[in-house]
Amino acid sequence: MAASSTSTVLGLSLWAQTDCPEWADFLQDNQKLEQLAGGHISNSGLHLAAEEKQFLAQRGTVLTYTGTGSGAASVTLPFSPRKITVFAQGKPPMAPRADGGWDVFSQVWLQGEETSYGTGGISLAADTLAAQFSEGAFSGEAGLYHALNRSGVTYVVELEP
């Protein structure tokens, strides 16, 4: 004898004390659970793969450093990023200089398939995970100056895997 009633959503057997369950009833309930729960668990549209979880766990890592005023500040990174964005807290992206040039307080570095791209103020040594943030003139650009290591200025570094 099957159960005298079933659950409203999954249709599983809700046996009363007076019911006499049969083996087929258990198998039918297990098949329903396997189909519904198993289908849900294996749905990659709803659940993340291990690689996706790892990507999200590293996403948006933020570091800070304080400029020393020397040629370049060196910061050790927790992983090899695909993108580095750096900016000075409390400073505009660019500020005019007394000599008519511009100090650039915000820059981006990107790792491409074969090479990296940036304006030269950020460099990364992949073997040591050390990023260099520089002071000095842009290569080939008159009037623009990297301002990524000003003495006493706090910089924010955002890393993307």
The span from the CA of 73 to the CA of 86, in Å, is 12
Mean pLDDT of the chain: 85
pLDDT in tens, 118-137: 778 888 887 778 888 888 87
Residues contacting residue 15 through CB under 8 Å, at least 6 positions apart: 3, 4, 21
CA distance 137 to 122: 13
Average pLDDT over every residue of 112-118: 74
Query: What's this model's pTM, rounded to 2 decimal places?
Result: 0.62
> What is the tens place of the pLDDT at every residue in 37-86?
888 888 877 788 888 787 777 667 899 999 998 888 999 998 888 899 99
Torsion sign across C-alpha atoms 125, 67, 108, 146: negative
Instruction: Give pLDDT, residue 1.
Output: 55
Q: Where are the domains of the chain?
A: 5-41, 58-160
